[in-house]
Amino acid sequence: MRRSMLGRLAVAACSLSLLTAFAPATGADGGASAAGPGSGRAYKKVGYFTQWGVYGRDFQVQDLDANGSAGKLTHINYAFGNVSAEGRCFTGNVPGEADAWADYARPLDAANSVDGVADTWDQPLAGNFNQLRELKAKHPGLKVLISLGGWSWSTHFSDAALTPASRKAFVESCIDLYIKGNLPQDGTRGGAGAAAGVFDGIDLDWEWPGSAGDTDTKYRPEDKRNFTELVREFRTQLDAYARSQKRAKYELTAFVPTAPAKIDAGFDVRRIMRDLDFVNLQGYDFHVSGEPRTAQQSALYARGDFSVHGTVEAWQRRGAPAHKLVMGMPFYGQGWTGVSGGGDGLGQPATGPAPATWAAGYEDYKALKKLAESGAYQVHRDRRGGHAWLFDGTTLWTYDDPQVLRAKTGYIREHGLGGAMFWSLDADTADGELMTAVDRGLRGR
């Protein structure tokens, strides 16, 4: 979104087609041994950290340490890096396009710093990037990837991937900016190598090659071939740079869709899976609050509808190995109001998206938990389908709670998948309730 949820949901409200559009493990090194002693494997646990969450939500990198999530994660995907009209990775202070202030210029005080030390005016790296570096120092097994694109910032991906020359230049610019850490000078911040060592790889979040995404996102029939070649170019250049640094590797991942039509339009599955360490499957936004009827947004099973199981099967049928499939899970809910028709509210007409804290129809789990505990809403469950919703007779929220996540982590273990991914970490409770549920579930506890 920028995978900015605000931008995405605004489009969703006016287009039913978005239910197929969005949403957004095991590489050679396996990540941190997060599955624990006796588990027999290390599952990926990938959480998206939103650049803009440090503002209104006041969710800082340090909060991941304070709530225990950092010790449970194997990967943090930093959302997002943008692609310019010239087909280059870039940053700066451009409203709606880039936020260097949040990324690496904003000073943090001691109370909001992972290491408990306030930033100084003259250090080259501050902001989220510096805090991520400090978080990695405290949790040595943790990896951080820069996620490129998202719903609102996939605008220029198709142009960037169009030719061998454009792909080469695009990849070089991303590696230079994020992997080598050569940041633009911003007062005393930035400079050559300022962010070196912060990022351990790149996550491609192009939404979507070969089919419609956000209103201004260009797409072409040849995107499928070009995305395959872009993945190959990233793999080639990342591996070459890793060798030059005497490093085992830099990881390369992608966020990929649920809808079979979108998979077939943009993804040569067998070929891209050779170069990607793993993919994060869209496991949410199967239905969104802009639709005229209430529905599940993240069911594990759903006959005749989108589901997590259906997404896994779609990717496996096209040649993706199970151990490279990481299941996406929502740490938020989709909501409708003006629901009529009685019953438990599901599948009923609604007048529009439900009022919410940040954007109509979209609410963080931590807020939905309070609704569930208030007594005003009843919790409903489809135990066979593996999903839950809240309904008060007028307003309905479909969401994942710890009980749903236990079922999903059981599925991951049973089907030999690579792990779990979550959008987004700032939506969890102050004590990391959902992160803990996923961690325990993947450990079989």
Active site residues: 207
Per DSSP, the three-state class of 156 is coil
Q: Pairing state of beta strands 89-90 and 75-83?
A: antiparallel
Q: Which of 40, 47, 44, 38 is nearest to 26 (CA)?
A: 44
Distance from C-alpha of 260 to C-alpha of 267, rounded to nearest angstrom:
10
**Under DSSP, is residue 429 helix (H, G, I), strand (E, B) or coil?**
coil
**In this structure, is the dihedral angle defined by the CA atoms of residues 71, 75, 79 and 83, taken in order, positive or negative?**
positive
**Beta carbons within 8 Å of 245's beta carbon, 6+ residues apart:** none
441 vs 433: CA distance, rounded Å = 12
Q: Answer whether 25's CB lies under 8 Å from 326's CB.
A: yes
Both ends of the chain: CA-CA distance in Å? 34
CA distance 123 to 105: 9
Burial of 96 (0-12, 13-18, 19+ CB in 10 A): exposed
- H or E element that contains 377: none
Two tokens, residue 79: 């959302």
DSSP 20: G
The CA-based diameter of the chain, rounded to the nearest angstrom, is 64
* Token pair of 179 as six digits: 């992997």
